Amino acid sequence: MCYRPPQAEIAAAEAAGPKMKDCPECGASQPLTAKACSECGYKFPPMKLNKTAGPGGPASPAPKAPDAPAAPSAPNPPSAPKPPLS
């Protein structure tokens, strides 16, 4: 008899997210974290990370920085005039 996993397990596995990916070159199952195929050395393209940018374009526009007061530069105190040498 051929053992066939019930649909429930398959659905659960898909819901959990695939943890393996197939190498397009040799078809070997490689972990998603693999950067290269351990069988043929195929280098997987970098994974796209869309976590930061939410749907709908940039969610947080760059806040306009108000005119920051310039760093208070203490003016050099006027040097006391030296007494003229007599």
In this complex, which beta carbon is closest to Zn ion, that of residue 9 or of residue 39?
Answer: 39
Rounded CA separation 75/72 (Å): 9
Q: How many CB atoms lie within 10 A of CB 40?
A: 14
Query: Residue 36 forms beta bridges with which residues?
Result: 43
Which amino acid, one-letter code, is at 49? L
Which of 13, 32, 36, 39 forms a contact with Zn ion (CB under 5 A)? 39
Mask for 46-85, x = binds Zn ion (CB under 5 A): ----------------------------------------
In this complex, which beta carbon is closest to Zn ion, that of residue 10 or of residue 26?
Answer: 26
Which of 21, 29, 34, 42 forms a contact with Zn ion (CB under 5 A)? 42
Rounded CA separation 31/36 (Å): 10
